[in-house]
């Protein structure tokens, strides 16, 4: 049920993000979700794309350092307390969130949160137990 | 002024004759007394009797720092320990230190050389010499100290550190001459300014500065900031310590005391001797040391030799200020650093051949060490804190190995310039600023 995310190391200097997105565009790869974490020196670009294998290949060929990470996509009810309802059972189970980011589906009413856990499969069990909707990789890549 | 007119200004012919007699004697001695030299001369097929002119020195094999280390601690001593009155040693940051022994006669000879050195840099018996070179195993402190006493000047053995006290002494004692590393002199000037002392107005007249490479622009800065005459001094533990060569008032190279040392320049690649004027690696032979003679020691320092008579009256050869090294050793804040040391830390952390670049710069008066490391898949993580932990780990390990602080910057692959596929390891911006 996990989703494949590609994380790319970028130096914190102008034009780096533009270059990565251009490589993806040139190869007809669509970005589904994206988040950027940065420090003064460097940034880590995290993307979920339409074609994970192809994106990984073209970026590696272009010389980027990247890693593939299993993340969890959870549908967040669009109402007050939506996110709190996801975090509560995680806290209960002492499951730390390494990082997270959100994106909105074009069709649906609900936002989707991407979570990075140390143990994604255990997190999925906990969230399913709380009747939350977990999206599969295929579902996210096709959004 | 010249301390020893006879030996500093003798004709080149007489000098070469003297050198030859002394060379023949020292070669005979090391061959008979030190197994290393016997083995090395035999291997090269050369006998002490083959040395008939001073030029024949090039028939002899070299000795390297590695040879000296392998003989740790006393294997290259030519005299019994009962005749050795003092030991000094190099810092040994890259392994075993080089240990130098001195007989009583060696100490006297060294004091003579240092008296010449001080006088060449205008010192007289009326001067107060504040000696801020470290006292201890390092040759700088005691080397200057004995020379100053031999000259009859007043020596103040402050050693390094305690900078406020250095300024106070300089002010209260009226020190005329300061002996220290050039970067420490600039630091003293800074501390003086913070203390509200106008260092330019103090009686300080001359700085005799060395033990680390420094540029002409740094000299200008020191002379301007302290209102002194700054002279370059050269020496090394392997050969004797300070007292090998010194700049006179012409500041046109450093005079080598050739009645005690034979200087040669060689092509560092082939080992072939190069003529006067050409730039290459300096090779030194001690002619008169009893306890720890060295024959054709490869200094790895890059310079050239100029035998023309100097306007100061000295006939002894001048070496240009040292501009670089044949190996990749860097001297950062007085610490010897080899890129291979940094590489070993990175290999341990990354588990693969690292691509990195060492950038050394001088910010203010302090050398600044920046290590740029290409991020490979072994160390990359999608989490910022893990990457920062790796940065910190590399930083800590290098700091504990070298004893100097370093900033680690993570960069993208292929950002470090490669020549013939191999990353260019070192960028020394201190040199570019000269």
Which pLDDT band, with edges at 50, 70 and 90, does A130 fall under? confident
Q: How far is CA B213 from the centre of its chain?
A: 8
Of B377, B383, B409, which is closest to A65 when you measure between CB atoms? Answer: B377
Give the residue numbers in B contacting A (CB under 8 Å), as ranges. 374-377, 380-384, 387-388, 409-415
Q: Domains for chain B: give ranges and CATH numbers.
A: 5-325 (3.40.50.12780), 330-432 (3.30.300.30)
Which pLDDT band, with edges at 50, 70 and 90, does A105 fall under? confident
- For residue A107, what pLDDT is reported? 65
CATH of domain A3-69: 3.30.2130.10
Region B160-181: mean pLDDT is 95
Question: Does the structure show a pLDDT above 80 at A118?
Answer: yes
- For residue B222, what pLDDT is reported? 92
The segment(s) of chain A belonging to CATH 3.30.2130.10 are 3-69, 71-142
Report which of B178, B310, B146, B122 is spatially closest to residue B243, judged by C-alpha positions.
Answer: B146
Q: State how far residue B407 is from chain A, nearest Cα, in angstroms.
A: 11
Which pLDDT band, with edges at 50, 70 and 90, does B147 fall under? very high
Angle, CA of B238, B239 and B243, to the nearest 5°: 125
- For residue B434, what pLDDT is reported? 52
Chain B residues in contact with A38 by the CB 8 A cut-off are 384
Question: Does the structure show a pLDDT above 90 at B431?
Answer: no
Region B24-32: mean pLDDT is 97
Q: How far is CA B188 from CA B49, B105, B211, in A?
A: 53, 35, 17
Residue B284 near residue B219, CB atoms below 8 Å: no
Question: Does the structure show a pLDDT above 50 at B422?
Answer: no
Question: Does the structure show a pLDDT above 70 at B418?
Answer: no
The share of chain B scoring above pLDDT 90, in percent, equals 71
- For residue B421, what pLDDT is reported? 43
- For residue B347, what pLDDT is reported? 76
Label residue B344 left, alpha or beta by phi (over 0 means left) and psi (-120 to 50 means alpha). Answer: alpha
Report which of B397, B261, B388, B370 is spatially closest to residue B319, judged by C-alpha positions.
Answer: B261
- For residue B420, what pLDDT is reported? 46
Region B121-134: mean pLDDT is 97
Question: Does the structure show a pLDDT above 80 at A108?
Answer: no
Whether B413 sits inside 8 A of A65 (CB atoms) is yes
Which pLDDT band, with edges at 50, 70 and 90, does B40 fall under? very high
Question: Does the structure show a pLDDT above 90 at B368?
Answer: no
Q: Is the ipTM of this complex over 0.95?
A: no
- For residue B148, what pLDDT is reported? 98
Nearest Cα residue in chain A from B409: A41
Name the CATH superfamily housing domain A71-142: VC0802-like (3.30.2130.10)
Q: How far is CA B386 from the centre of its chain?
A: 41
Q: Which range, B12-21, B206-215, B361-370, B388-397, has the best average confidence (pLDDT)?
A: B12-21
């Amino acid at each position: 049920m996990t989703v494949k995310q590609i994380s790319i190391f970028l130096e914190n200097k102008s034009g780096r993000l533009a270059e990565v997105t251009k490589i993806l565009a040139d190869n007809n790869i669509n970005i589904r979700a994206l988040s950027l974490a940065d420090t003064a020196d460097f940034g880590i670009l995290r993307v979920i794309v339409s074609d994970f294998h192809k994106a990984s290949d073209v970026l590696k060929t272009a010389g980027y350092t990247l890693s593939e990470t299993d993340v969890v996509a959870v549908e967040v009810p669009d109402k007050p307390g939506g996110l709190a309802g996801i975090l509560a059972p995680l806290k209960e189970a002492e499951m730390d969130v390494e990082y997270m980011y959100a994106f909105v589906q074009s069709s649906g009413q609900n936002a989707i949160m991407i979570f990075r856990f140390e143990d994604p499969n255990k997190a999925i069990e906990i969230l399913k137990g709380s009747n939350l909707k977990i999206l599969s990789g295929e579902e996210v890549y096709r959004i | 002024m010249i301390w020893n007119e006879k030996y500093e200004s003798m004709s080149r012919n007489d000098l070469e004759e003297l050198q030859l007699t002394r060379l023949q004697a020292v070669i005979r001695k090391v061959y008979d007394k030190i197994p290393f030299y016997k083995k090395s001369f035999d291997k090269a097929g050369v006998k002490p009797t083959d040395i008939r002119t001073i030029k024949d020195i090039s028939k002899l094999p070299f000795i390297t720092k590695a040879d000296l280390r392998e003989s740790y601690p006393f294997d290259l001593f030519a005299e019994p320990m009962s005749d050795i009155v003092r030991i000094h040693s190099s810092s040994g940051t890259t392994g075993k230190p080089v240990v130098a022994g001195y007989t009583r006669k060696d100490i006297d000879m060294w004091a003579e050389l240092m008296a010449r050195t001080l006088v060449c840099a205008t010192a007289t018996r009326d001067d107060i010499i504040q000696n801020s070179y470290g006292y201890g195993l390092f040759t700088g402190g005691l080397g200057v100290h004995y020379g100053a006493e031999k000259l009859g000047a007043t020596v103040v053995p402050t050693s390094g550190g305690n900078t406020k006290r250095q300024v106070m002494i300089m002010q209260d004692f009226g020190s005329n001459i300061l002996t220290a590393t050039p970067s420490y002199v600039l630091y003293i000037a800074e501390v003086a300014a913070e203390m509200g002392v106008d260092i330019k107005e103090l009686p300080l007249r001359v700085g005799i500065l060395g033990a680390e490479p420094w540029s002409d622009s740094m000299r200008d800065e020191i002379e301007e900031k302290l209102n002194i005459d700054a002279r370059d001094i050269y020496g090394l533990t392997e050969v004797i310590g300070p007292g090998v060569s010194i700049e006179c008032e012409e500041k046109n190279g450093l005079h080598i005391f050739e009645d005690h040392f034979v200087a040669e320049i060689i092509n560092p690649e082939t080992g072939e001797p190069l003529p006067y004027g050409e730039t290459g690696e300096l090779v030194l032979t001690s002619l008169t040391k009893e306890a720890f003679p060295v024959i054709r020691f490869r200094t790895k320092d890059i310079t050239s030799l100029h035998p023309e008579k100097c306007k100061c009256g000295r006939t002894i050869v001048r070496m240009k200020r040292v501009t670089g090294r044949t190996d990749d050793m860097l001297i950062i804040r007085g610490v010897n650093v080899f890129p291979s040391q940094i590489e070993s830390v990175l290999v341990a952390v990354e588990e693969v051949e690292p691509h990195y670049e060492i950038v050394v710069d001088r910010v203010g008066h302090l050398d600044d060490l920046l290590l740029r490391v290409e991020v490979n898949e072994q160390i990359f993580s999608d989490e910022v804190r893990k990457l920062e932990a790796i940065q910190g780990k590399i930083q800590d390990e290098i700091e504990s190995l070298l004893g100097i602080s370093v900033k680690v910057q993570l960069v993208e692959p292929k950002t470090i310039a490669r020549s013939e596929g191999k990353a260019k390891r070192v960028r020394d911006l201190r040199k570019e600023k000269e």
